[in-house]
Chain A
Amino acid sequence: MPIDLSVNGRTRRVDDDAETPLLWVLRDTLGLRGTRYGCGIAQCGACTVHVDGQPVRSCTLPVGVVESAAITTIEGVAGPEVEAVRAAWTARDVPQCGFCQSGQVMSAVALLRTIPIPSDADIDLAMSGNLCRCATYNRIRAAIHDAARAGSTPA
Chain B
Amino acid sequence: MSERIDPLIPMVGVVTDIRVDTPDVKTFRVEAPEGGKVFEHIPGQCAMLSVPGVGEGMFSITSSPTQKNYMEFSIKKCGCVTSWLHSMEVGQMITIRGPYGNGFPVDTDFKGKDMVFIAGGIGLAPLHSVINYARDKRDQYGTIDVVYGSRSMDDLVDFPEIQNVWCKEEGMNVHLTIDREQEGWDGHVGFVPNYVKELGFDASKTFIICGPPIMIKFTLAGLTEMGIAKNQVYTTMELKMKCGIGKCGRCNIGDKYVCKDGPVFRCDQIDEMTNEY
The answer to whether A and B come from one shared complex is no
